[in-house]
Amino acid sequence: MSSAKSENEGIKTGSDYLRGTISEGLLDAPTGALDDRDTQLTKFHGIYQQDDRDLRIERQRQRLEPAFSFMIRARVPGGLCSPDQWLTMERLATRYGNESFRLTTRQAFQLHGVIKRNLKSTIASINEALMDTLAACGDVNRNVMCSPNPEASAVHAEVQAVARAISDHLTPRTTAYHEIWLDRKKVAGAVDEEPIYGRTYLPRKFKIGVAVPPWNDVDVFSQDLGFIAITEQERLLGFNVVVGGGMGTTHGDPETYPRVGDVIGFCAPDQVLAVAEHVVTVQRDFGDRSNRKHARLKYTIADRGVAWFRDQVESRAGLMLGAARGYRFVSNTDRFGWSDGTDGRGHLTLWIPSGRVANTGERPLLAGLHAIAEVLKDNGGGFRLTPNQNVIVAGVSDDARPLVEALARRHGLMPDQAGSELRLRSLACVALPTCGLAMAESERYMPDFLSRLEALLGRHDLEDSPLHVRMTGCPNGCARPFLAEIGLVGKAPGRYNLYLGGDRAGERLNRLVRENADEKEILAVLEPLLSHFSRERIEDEAFGDFLERTEALAAAVGD
Binned at pLDDT 50, 70 and 90, residue 152 comes out as: low
Residues of the chain within CATH 3.90.480.10 domain(s) are 337-420
DSSP 343-359: TS-EEEEE--GGGEE-B
The residue-averaged pLDDT of 204-219 equals: 97
- What SS3 class is residue 210? strand
Of 143, 113, 104, 138, the residue nearest 17 (C-alpha):
138
pLDDT digits (tens, 9 = 90+) for 479-493: 999 999 999 999 999
Segment holding 556, helix H or strand E: helix 552-558
Burial of 430 (0-12, 13-18, 19+ CB in 10 A): buried
Could you say which of 75, 102, 106, 142 is catalytic? 142
CATH superfamily of 423-558: Sulfite Reductase Hemoprotein, domain 1 (3.30.413.10)
- Report the pLDDT value the prediction gives residue 2, as an integer from 0 to 100: 62
- Report the pLDDT value the prediction gives residue 425, as an integer from 0 to 100: 95
Annotated catalytic, 146?
A: no
> Distance between alpha carbon 325 and the CA centroid of its chain, in Å?
27
Binned at pLDDT 50, 70 and 90, residue 189 comes out as: low
Residues 36 and 40: their CA atoms lie apart, in Å, by 7
The answer to whether the peptide bond before residue 214 is cis (omega within 30 degrees of 0) is yes
Could you say which of 116, 207, 284, 298 is catalytic? 207
The residue-averaged pLDDT of 440-460 equals: 97
Could you say which of 363, 474, 504, 511 is catalytic? 474
C-beta separation of 112 from 102 below 8 A:
yes
pLDDT digits (tens, 9 = 90+) for 517-548: 999 999 999 999 999 999 999 999 999 999 99
pLDDT digits (tens, 9 = 90+) for 220-247: 999 999 999 999 988 999 999 999 999 9
Of 210, 228, 218, 503, the residue nearest 387 (C-alpha):
218
pTM for the whole structure = 0.96
Handedness of CA 26, 31, 34, 35 (dihedral sign): negative
Could you say which of 12, 73, 298, 384 is catalytic? 73
pLDDT tops 80 at residue 150? no
Residues of the chain within CATH 3.30.413.10 domain(s) are 141-182+196-332, 423-558
Asked if the 337-420 domain carries CATH number 3.90.480.10, the reply is yes
- Residue 288's Cβ-side half-sphere holds a number of Cα atoms within 13 Å equal to 17
Residue 264: phi and psi, rounded to 5, are -110, 0
- What SS3 class is residue 107? coil
Could you say which of 204, 205, 296, 345 is catalytic? 205
What is the overall mean pLDDT for the chain?
96
pLDDT tops 70 at residue 559? no
The residue-averaged pLDDT of 143-151 equals: 89
Annotated catalytic, 81?
A: no
Of 259, 153, 269, 257, the residue nearest 210 (C-alpha):
269
pLDDT tops 90 at residue 342? no
Binned at pLDDT 50, 70 and 90, residue 366 comes out as: very high
C-beta separation of 351 from 336 below 8 A:
yes
Annotated catalytic, 73?
A: yes
Annotated catalytic, 478?
A: yes
Q: How far apart are the first and last CA of the chain?
A: 37
Residue 151: phi and psi, rounded to 5, are -90, -10
C-beta separation of 209 from 144 below 8 A:
yes
Residues 284 and 297: their CA atoms lie apart, in Å, by 9
pLDDT tops 70 at residue 475? yes
Could you say which of 425, 478, 491, 495 is catalytic? 478
Could you say which of 146, 267, 435, 480 is catalytic? 435
Annotated catalytic, 205?
A: yes
The residue-averaged pLDDT of 293-308 equals: 98
pLDDT digits (tens, 9 = 90+) for 374-430: 999 988 899 999 999 999 999 999 999 999 999 999 999 999 999 999 999 999 999
C-beta separation of 454 from 530 below 8 A:
no
Annotated catalytic, 293?
A: no
Could you say which of 204, 425, 429, 504 is catalytic? 429
C-beta separation of 86 from 369 below 8 A:
yes
Considering the domain 141-182+196-332 in this protein, what is its CATH number? Answer: 3.30.413.10
Residues 342 and 319: their CA atoms lie apart, in Å, by 35
Binned at pLDDT 50, 70 and 90, residue 1 comes out as: low
pLDDT tops 70 at residue 191? no
